[in-house]
Amino acid sequence: MTLLAVTAAVSLALVLGALWGLYGRFGDRTEGFVLAAGGGALMFSAVLELIVPAREFISLTATGLALLIGAGTFALIDYLIDERWGDEGGVGLLAAVTLDGVPENVALGVMLIGAGAWEVAGLATAIFLSNLPEGASGAKGMRAMGWRRGRILALWFGTALVLVVATVAGNLLFHGAPEEYLALMHVFAGGAVIASLSTEIFPKAYRRDHHMAGIATALGLLAALLVTHTMTE
């Protein structure tokens, strides 16, 4: 039940964000602000929930390699997608959400093994806060390219389903796996998340909201810190 509840909440954010982007009214500065805030929350959790705890089970060298492989994998696939589709509209952001979201949600599923909902609340909340503006921004960009609303919603709903499958797969397939292997997966996911933030989220947030994007990033990080502090008290 915990697995399904957390998975649904996290993935639903993409669909809600897409609806917001298609039917809501928000300017470029608002879009940039919420993107940066979500990115700040996710950066905090990627480091504190995925990368740092792995050092208990694997060496610094293994951590570094897994981190670089995760970031490199995202960067390579993102480059290939940009070469094919370009960076117009929300296609690149949709790719970013999918490519970093799959390992990210697999890691979330792994974290749920033997854990209660509160123990993963920090990461789940950060992913939710990140997915909501990403879905909104991506859907808005696709609409600006002339895509039909039904097609846009179908794409984002499909992406949400892919992430649901990734979380469930992470939980079921890796149950009982060695801690060292799970730690490597967490760090790989963290590397993919950081690469996606650096190449897709923060640059777009700065273009939309300029210097306030830095404040928004800090606020998002602070929100994730407060959630984590509250849950561990």
Per-residue 3-state assignment (H helix, E strand, C coil) for the chain: CHHHHHHHHHHHHHHHHHHHHHHCCCCHHHHHHHHHHHHHHHHHHHHHHHHHHHHHCCCHHHHHHHHHHHHHHHHHHHHHHHHHHCCCCCHHHHHHHHHHHHHHHHHHHHHCCCCCHHHHHHHHHHHHHHHHHHHHHHHHHHHHCCCCHHHHHHHHHHHHHHHHHHHHHHHHHCCCCCHHHHHHHHHHHHHHHHHHHHHHHHHHHHHHHCCHHHHHHHHHHHHHHHHHHHHHC
Q: Which of 232, 8, 12 lies closest to 121, judged by CA?
A: 232
pLDDT at 136 over 80: yes
Indicate the pTM of the whole model.
0.79
pLDDT at 202: 92
Do residues 42 and 221 make contact, with C-beta atoms less than 8 angstroms apart? no
Model confidence at 193, in pLDDT bands (50, 70, 90)? confident
- Cα separations (Å) of 165 from 4, 68, 143, 162, 190? 11, 25, 27, 5, 19
51, 190 Cβ separation under 8 angstroms: yes
Residue type, 182: L
Instruction: State how far Cα 165 lies from the chain centre.
Output: 15
Tell me which residue of 195, 212, 221, 227 sits closest to 31, measured CA to CA. 212
Given a cut of 60, is residue 85 above it in pLDDT?
A: no
Assign 61 a pLDDT band (cuts: 50, 70, 90): very high
Structure tokens at 183: 């730690």
* Spatial CA neighbour of 135 closest among 120, 112, 108, 153: 153
Rounded average pLDDT over 192-206: 87
For residue 42, the model assigns a pLDDT of 85
Q: Which of 19-33, 50-64, 111-125, 203-217 has the lowest mean pLDDT?
A: 111-125
Distance CA(118)–CA(51), nearest Å, equals: 19
When pLDDT is averaged across residues 132-154 and rounded to a whole number, the result is 85
Residue 8 pLDDT: 77
pLDDT in tens, 6-42: 777 778 888 999 998 898 877 778 888 988 998 898 8
Question: Domain-by-domain residue ranges, the chain?
Answer: 2-232
Asked if 108 contacts 165 with a C-beta cutoff of 8 angstroms, the reply is no
Cβ-proximal residues to 165 (8 Å cutoff; 6+ apart), any chain: none
Q: Mean of the pLDDT values across residues 151-156?
A: 88
Helix axes 28-45, 121-144, angle to 10 degrees: 150
222 vs 108, residue with greater confidence = 222
| Contact criterion met (CB below 8 Å) for 90 and 140 | yes
Cβ atoms of 44 and 221 closer than 8 Å: yes
